[in-house]
Amino acid sequence: MKLKVFSHYIKVWLVIVKASFRRSYVYRTEVFVRFLRTIFILGVQVLLLNAVFGDNEIYVGWTKNEAYLVMGIWNFLNYMGWSLFGVNLFNLEGKVINGEFDFYLLKPISSAWFASFCDFFIYNFVTVISGLTLIGWYMYQELNNLIYTDILLGVLSIFIALILWYGIYLFFASFTISNPRNGYLVVAKEILGITRYPTDIFGNTFQILFYTLLPIAFLTTVPAKTFMGEGSYIVLVCGLLVGLATVIIGKNIWNKNVRNYVSSGG
């Protein structure tokens, strides 16, 4: 039964993605502009990292190539998140205020799922290229030192991180239902912005925080270390459990706020 439900959600999402690609053909100029923006973002990030490192090969325990890897993973998660669910959840506030969220509750699928994945933004998806480019650069530079199992586990850890990334967005967005214009998603965006840098640079006290109460180390630092051969199966399992737990908590808070939701009609 659960497999059938999962299959149904996949089919619905594929329809949404196909509709997005059809719109991208109509607005292909905007897609091209987004591609140019991707090149600009990539250039700025490379210049920034080079300015930080200067003539040094290592900064706070990380090499320049490793810093590129962390930034690349962050770009991938950030722009993939925006294309899949980020923009949708940011738009939730307007839908709650104008009453459009009422129709979400009438659909025969989860309102949390539909609010998260009701549209696919190809423009943000194009910018994912910036992340793949930086990750690819690291792999090219460290080709002789890479092990295939580390690469596979590194890729797996990125997708585990994407689950946690979604869980954080869902958790903060759930409060929008009962209290729109609260600014919580802006806070979530700022928290996630921290992870464009290795969490190691914040010291031991914050390290404990970033692996426990605020487990953002599993977003970019853990995947990067996994690529570097410093990961472990236990850490990956912990990351997966943390990600799933965050999604479940976010979903429960979402359902609680839905029960307290008062439609625009009163």
What does the pLDDT profile of the chain (266 residues) look like in tens digits? Answer: 567 888 889 999 999 998 888 776 666 777 788 888 889 989 999 998 888 888 888 888 899 999 999 999 999 999 999 999 999 999 999 999 998 999 999 888 899 999 999 999 888 898 999 999 999 999 999 988 899 999 999 999 999 999 999 999 999 999 999 888 898 999 999 999 999 989 888 877 888 899 999 999 999 999 999 999 998 899 999 999 999 999 999 999 999 999 988 776 55
**88: nearest Cα among 187, 16, 162:** 16
> What confidence score (pLDDT) does residue 117 get?
96
> What confidence score (pLDDT) does residue 27 get?
64
Q: Is residue 111 part of a domain?
A: yes
- Quickly tell me which residue has 């080709």 as its tokens: 143
State the Cα–Cα distance between residues 218 and 135, nearest whole angstrom: 17
Identify the DSSP state of 82. Answer: I
> What confidence score (pLDDT) does residue 53 get?
86
> What confidence score (pLDDT) does residue 152 get?
95
**127: nearest Cα among 212, 200, 40, 26:** 40
CB 151 within 8 A of CB 224: no
In tens, the pLDDT along 185-206 reads 999 999 999 999 898 888 778 8
How many domains is the chain partitioned into structurally? Answer: 1
CB 150 within 8 A of CB 113: no
Helix (H/G/I), strand (E/B), else coil: 108: coil
Radius of gyration of the chain (CA): 20
Distance of CA 33 to the CA centre of its chain: 22
Q: Is residue 89 part of a domain?
A: yes
- Quickly tell me which residue has 């930080």 as its tokens: 52
Q: Is residue 15 part of a domain?
A: yes
> What confidence score (pLDDT) does residue 264 get?
60
Residue 201 structural domain: 2-259
State the Cα–Cα distance between residues 92 and 216, nearest whole angstrom: 24
Q: Is residue 265 part of a domain?
A: no
CB 220 within 8 A of CB 74: yes
> What confidence score (pLDDT) does residue 123 get?
81
- Quickly tell me which residue has 């030192």 as its tokens: 145
Angle, CA 130 vertex, CA 137 and CA 192 arms, to 5°: 110
Q: Is residue 244 part of a domain?
A: yes
State the Cα–Cα distance between residues 103 and 182, nearest whole angstrom: 22
Q: Is residue 264 part of a domain?
A: no
CB 192 within 8 A of CB 168: yes
